[in-house]
Amino acid sequence: MKPTDTQPNATPVASFGQRLADAVLQKKNAVCVGLDPRTLSLPETIRPKLPASLESQASAFETFCLKIIDAVSDLVPVIKPQAAFFEELGPEGMRVLARIIRHATQQGLLVILDGKRGDIGTTAAAYANAFLGSGPEGGPTYSAWGADALTVNPFLGMDTLEPFIQRCDNSETGLFVLVKTSNPGSGFIQDTTVNDLGISSPGKSPPSNISEAIADEIQALAHGRIGPDGYSSVGAVVGATYPAQLSAMRERMPNAWLLIPGYGAQGGAAADVVRGMDGRGLGAIVNSSRGIIFAHENPKYKSLPWIDAVRNATLDMIEALRTAHS
C-alpha cells in the first residue's frame, strides 16, 4: 500500500523503509526486477516490425512490462523501471511508464523509479514532487508518477539531497543515493582519494575517498530516520561488481537500505551481493534486469515461452540468493 493524504480515522502509513522490510520478509527474498525494455531485445511475438514508430515501440514496451509484472508479482517485493528507456520514446513512452507504475502498485509491488535525478533548490523539489508519493490529485503527497522511491545523484553536492529528503519525509517515500556504482569507470570520481573532509562517524575512520565521504553523509541522514527493523527510507546504490567495497559500505551505512545493481549480466554473483544483507535477509535489495527480462535469450531458458523464461529466471535468482545467504 502507498501513502495517502490524511483522512479522518485513516491508518498511518509506514515509512518506505519499513514497507520494504515488510515486503522482503513476506516474499522471503530481496530480488528487484529491473524493467529496462529495448526494442531489439523484445521477444519476437511482441517486437514491432522495423522500422517501427515510437508509438508502436511504446505499445510493445507496455505489453512486455505488464506481462513481466504479472509473472513476478507473487515472487518478488519490488521492481525498478529505468526511466530512460521510456523517455527515449517521447510522450507516449512516458504515458506507458505511468501506466506500468500504476499496474505494479495495484499488483502489490513496491516501485523504485530509476531516474538518477539530481539538481538544486526548486528544480530538485520539482523532481521529487513529480516522482514520489501518491494520494488524490491536488493533495500534498500527490505525484503524477506515483513511485515509492527514486534513485538520485549527489555529485552536485549534498545540499541537493535536501528537497528530496523533505519530500520523502512528507510522503513516506524513499531515496537511493548513488554512492559506489557498478560500471567499470565509476572509480574515476568515486574512488578519488581525498584528504580528511572533517566528516566523522562514531567508530569509523575518516573517509578515504569520495564514495566513502558520501556514504558517511547518507548514514547520518539514515540514522535520524531509523524504522522498527533498523533501516531508514534513505538508502544507497552500491554495485555488486566491487564486493570488497560493498562490504565496507555496509559497515559505513548500517542503517541504510542498499540497492545493489550489477548482479548477473554485469558479473556480480550471489556470494557477492549477500554481503549487503543482515542475518534476516534485510538491508539490501538486489537488482537484475537483463538476466530476467531477457531470459528468453539465455540458452538455459530458450526452449520455454518467453514469459515462462522470465519466471524461471526469477525463481533461479531467488534460490541462488537464498543458498548464498544460508
Q: In terms of Cα–Cα distance, which of 37, 92, 39 is closest to 69? A: 37
How would you write 206-254 as a 3-class SS string?
A: CCCEHHHHHHHHHHHHHHCCCCCCCCCCEEEEECCCCHHHHHHHHHHCC
Extract the C-alpha cell encoding 232. 531508514
- The amino acid sitting at 173 is T
Rounded Cα distance between 59 and 67, Å, is 12
Q: Buried b vs exposed e over 128-149: b needs ≥16 C-beta within 10 Å?
A: bbbbbbbbeeeeebbbebbbbb
SS3 59: helix
Chain centroid, CA 232 distance in Å = 14
Extract the C-alpha cell encoding 3. 501513502
Largest CA distance in the chain: 59
**Does residue 49 have an active-site annotation?**
no
Out of 27, 49, 67, 116, pick the active-site residue.
Answer: 116
Q: Which sequence positions are flagged as catalytic?
A: 116
